[in-house]
Amino acid sequence: MLVTVWRHGEAGAASRDRDRTLTPRGTEALSNAVVRFQGMMLEKALPAVSGVVTSPWLRTRQTAELLGKALRVTPREEGWLAPSAGISDAARIFDLSDAHLLLISHQPLVSELLWYWLDSRALAPLAPGGRASLWITDHGQGQGTLVSSEVNI
């Protein structure tokens, strides 16, 4: 399974963390990043994104809407991608039938998933809007192979 882990775009301040919205700069950076992502997928002959799952928090939903529109996939919310989620929660992706799944969530989960699947911390933590794509054979430590990354946008 091909999995792309994407951190939500840059968000502004709000009285509650879950209500933070994307900034104009964050929206623009994501718009540019998804174009580069599409080019990378074509260049590497990767399967199109077939599913987008996102944390229910506002900034991740906005990120998912923007990416989903560009990739022509309707996002769906999953509580197991909220900030309180852990690595074991992500095992649920193997219950899905997507050939290329896009996960949109928060730090520290996004980087912890990548480090777990790669069995290495060599990849820098994902900055807002950053992403990495991996081939994953199973939900286990070291079961992923890095295909492409853009940790800072």
User: What is the radius of gyration, based on Cα positions, of the chain?
Assistant: 14
Q: Is the pTM of this model over 0.85?
A: yes
State whether the Cα torsion 86-87-92-98 is positive or negative: positive
How many Å apart are CA 32 and CA 9, to the nearest integer?
12
Q: How long, in residues, is the chain? A: 153
State whether the Cα torsion 38-92-98-3 is positive or negative: positive
At 28-82, the pLDDT tens digits run 999 999 999 999 999 999 999 999 999 999 999 999 999 999 999 999 999 999 9
Q: Domains in the chain, please, with CATH?
A: 2-150 (3.40.50.1240)
How many Å apart are CA 82 and CA 70, to the nearest integer?
23
